[in-house]
Amino acid sequence: MIKRILAKELEVSAVGLGCMGLSQSYPPFPDKDEGIRFLRRAVEMGQTFFDTSEVYAIGGNEELVGEALAPVRDQVKIATKFGWDIQNGKCIGLDSRPETIRKAVDASLKRLRTDYIDLYYHQTRIAFYSCTESIRYNPRQACCLSSKKRFRFLLHSVQMPLLKEL
């Protein structure tokens, strides 16, 4: 499989595998076991870059990706997204405040069964609050998002290139 480098060192398969359709938006959805087999087979075929989001199936997609890729975590790169106000199992709007991002990254790490996220990015067009704006100019401030370095790169996915090494 052809590879490419994002930023300076994030080597991934040239085409990423977007996982949203395994659990929302494009029915019929495979059952859990079929989804896990599909993702593991993709790795066997050389796929190394998998994309999900906290909002896809309200965390369910991250859980599926996490379970499927846990045994091969050292062979793959995982991207996931933040920027949503998720309460009681429902997405009720947008929220990119630092305290929400802190909670979101911790929840994503748990669902993905990993201790770091390779590419963590802001998914929404609005609600791009001052914390994320400040990260644009000083990526080291991303440490304010959690007590430990939990993701390698931060990206704003819609409007501006924000691929920065943290």
Q: Which long-range contacts (CB under 8 A, 24 or more apart) does 88-94 make?
A: 89/58, 90/58, 91/55, 91/58, 94/124, 94/126, 94/127
CA 24 vs CA 3, 19, 105, 163: distances in Å: 28, 9, 21, 27
Residue-wise over 123-134: b if at least 16 C-beta within 10 A, else e? bbeebbbebbee
| Residue 95 near residue 124, CB atoms below 8 Å | no
- Of the candidates 26, 56, 120, 129, the residue annotated as catalytic is 56
The answer to whether 56 is a known catalytic residue is yes
- As a whole number of Å, the end-to-end CA separation of the chain is 27
Positive or negative, the CA dihedral 5, 11, 16, 18 is: negative
Q: Which residues are catalytic?
A: 56
